[in-house]
Amino acid sequence: MGGYEDLEGFHYGQEITFAADGRPALGYVSHTWWADEPRDGREPGSPLATETGFWRVQPGEDGGTVVEVTLAHPFGIAEIYVGTVAGTRVDLDHNVLIRTATARDVTRSVRLYGIVEGGDLAYAIDMEAEGKPLQSHLSARLHRVTD
């Protein structure tokens, strides 16, 4: 489910791929598409967003686990998140966010990922943008698909 202040809620589909190539980082790609009734010029299946990057897990100074995530978006934003891993939960907060001159005025994003009942991946993304306070933006529960 997606939404934001002054934006009617919407449903979307998503595919996330994590890939390992032997280096100490997981490649990450996410594609989303419109899954609601037609509106605002969008039809079911219309692409919404793509993000690509890497997830890197490191030992933390306190004996815990730190995760660093780098993401790039085709609409002019690049992000670096730093967070912690606790069991099956990953909490991420912005470390750096950069925008091109024409990108949307996003100033902060916080993400929570977790493995939930049945082995599904659930997440919630809160965003601060366009002068509005940090608030819920996206959330989903994804089912694992293997080849």
The CATH number corresponding to 2-142 among 2.40.128.20, 1.10.3300.10, 3.20.20.150, 3.90.1150.10 equals 2.40.128.20
88 is written with which tokens? 């099956």
pTM of the model: 0.91
Region 33-45: mean pLDDT is: 93
Q: Per-domain residue ranges for the chain?
A: 2-142
At 85, list the tokens: 């891993």
Which tens digits make up the pLDDT trace of 46-83? 999 999 999 999 988 888 899 999 999 999 999 999 99
Q: 22-61 as b/e, with b when 16 or more CB fall inside 10 Å? A: eeebbebebebbbbbeeeeebeeeeebeebebbbeeeeee
**Alpha-carbon distance 114 to 117, whole Å?**
10
